[in-house]
Amino acid sequence: MENELDILKIILDSGYVVKGVLILLIIASILSWAIVLMKRKLFSNLRDSNQQFLAMFRSSESLRDVERGALSLSDSAYRSVFMEAYREFRLFIDQAGEQNLKNHYQHFGLDSIERAMKKGVNNTNLVMEEKLSTLASIGSVSPFVGLFGTVWGIINSFTGLAGGGATLDAVAPGIAEALVATAVGLAAAIPAVWFFNVFNNDVGTINSEIESFEQELLNSIERTIL
């Protein structure tokens, strides 16, 4: 407890520049943890919704049944992909009629549906990657902000040497400021970098799962056409 009080005293006794650096780093750390908690909840809900949608998709007898079941799973990435593909599928039926459906896809394939699914994937990626760039920026910039506070603290130490002689009392405040700034900078940066990598891996994993679902959906559409 005594050491904690000493650290608090160092912060309170530091110069205005170092205090500004520390406040900036604390704000960055709070922001990064807020993003981490938000993204953890997002990816957890996304995984659960994807599993529920996949189970519903595989147990449904028709694409229309899947559409009805999708209404209750708005958080699912699979839902976004399916709805874009099914919307394109229904659009052609409404315009050309079911009698021309098989002939059209025999000649032109499923390219239009694949493009529609890609739109659904892009929409999902926008949601998954939102604010990850902020997390990356905090992780990369915070150490340099802390380094600025470190350099400023060292400058204060040399100022103490010049004004009070080569004594511990003269250099201790500046060195303490420098060490605290370095520690706070690392404390803000390390979790941000760690979770940025974790979430990036989650994005890659979910995208791989979406690709598998796309193939399964295309197979189902082809069976519907035939």
- Tens of each residue's pLDDT in the chain, 226 residues: 444 446 666 666 667 777 888 889 999 999 999 999 999 999 999 999 999 999 999 998 888 889 888 887 777 899 999 999 888 888 877 766 666 666 767 666 677 888 889 998 999 999 999 999 999 999 999 999 988 888 877 777 776 665 555 555 556 666 777 778 888 899 999 999 999 999 999 999 999 999 999 999 988 888 877 6
Whether 18 and 184 have beta carbons less than 8 Å apart is answered as no
Handedness of CA 172, 173, 177, 183 (dihedral sign): positive
Based on the structure, what is the number of domains in the chain?
1
Count of C-beta atoms within a 10 Å radius of residue 9: 11
Q: What is the pTM of this model?
A: 0.81
Whether 186 and 179 have beta carbons less than 8 Å apart is answered as no
Amino acid at 54: L
User: Which pair of tokens denotes residue 154?
Assistant: 């060292």
Structural domain for 216, as ranges? 2-225
Closest CA to 169 of 157, 180, 154, 151: 157
